[in-house]
Amino acid sequence: MTTTLNHIDSLAGIVILAGGASKRMGTPKAELILPTGERLLDYHVRHALELTVADTNLPIMIADNGRGFDIDADLTRSRPCSAVFRISDYIANESDEPMDTAGALAAIESAMQTLTNINDSAAGSATIDKNKPSWLMVISCDSLIPATDLWHELQRASAQAADKRIICLTDHSHLYPLLGLYQLGIEPDLKAYIDSGQRRVMPFIKPMVQSVPFAKSWQHLTNFNTPEDFEQACTALNNL
């Protein structure tokens, strides 16, 4: 698997979506165990940490919808300067929304607000280029595509699609909006969309998305919803 880190300075942070109900799976996907014995959430955190370099410690946010999943302490111990932390979903208009219905966009909005606050606090730094698009990478816990490989696939499109503000994977029949890059600049629009009572991902992203086809070898690494799907994904990963 590739670990190319081209243009890492345009990646502002990573959010791992781990808050789904996982009803068909029968257990939270974040807690699934790979054949290697590694838990799925730790797998994603480990690969996300590989995108950090000496002077670019990317925030890695866990959006687990209040479930409080632990992270393997050895992962953060190996990179003590890297920020790995949980975030709460954005709740529109301070309503008491039930935990299981907040939706992926609410997690993405929260991650964007967090990164915007981080950027604002660092605004005086000479390393901040306000004219350069900053991206949030979104990784859902129904995938085994590593963060390093996802970034490699998406960052080239982010450099070429100047008029698009969301970049995500696609295959011959599906768009994968929760495996993608989101420009931080869309945060006010996303907040307004959620505040209006909307939760559906596709209507929001459609006017601004650029899709990136992925290889057939990734076909079974994504969108697993049942134990059988997960077993097939693990087999596909081992065959790469």
Other C-beta atoms closer than 10 Å to the C-beta of 69 total 19
Q: Rounded CA gap, 174 and 2, in Å?
A: 24
Q: Among 13, 8, 9, 6, which Cα is nearest to 128's? A: 9
Number of alpha carbons in the 13 Å side-chain half-sphere of residue 220: 14
3-state secondary structure of 236: helix
Task: Give the number of other Cβ atoms within 10 Å of residue 126's Cβ.
Answer: 5
User: Which residue(s) pair with 205 in the sheet?
Assistant: none
Amino acid letter for position 5: L
Q: Residue 177 in contact with residue 201, Cβ under 8 Å?
A: yes
Tens digit of pLDDT at every position of the chain (240 positions):
443 444 456 899 999 999 887 888 988 999 999 999 999 999 999 999 988 754 467 899 999 988 899 999 898 887 766 789 999 999 887 555 544 445 899 999 999 999 999 878 766 554 555 556 689 999 999 999 999 999 999 988 877 777 889 999 998 888 999 999 999 999 999 999 999 999 999 999 999 999 999 888 898 899 899 999 999 999 999 887
The pLDDT score that the predictor gives to residue 4 is 40
DSSP lists the bridge partners of residue 148 as: none
Name the nearest CA neighbour of 90 among 79, 77, 76, 104: 104
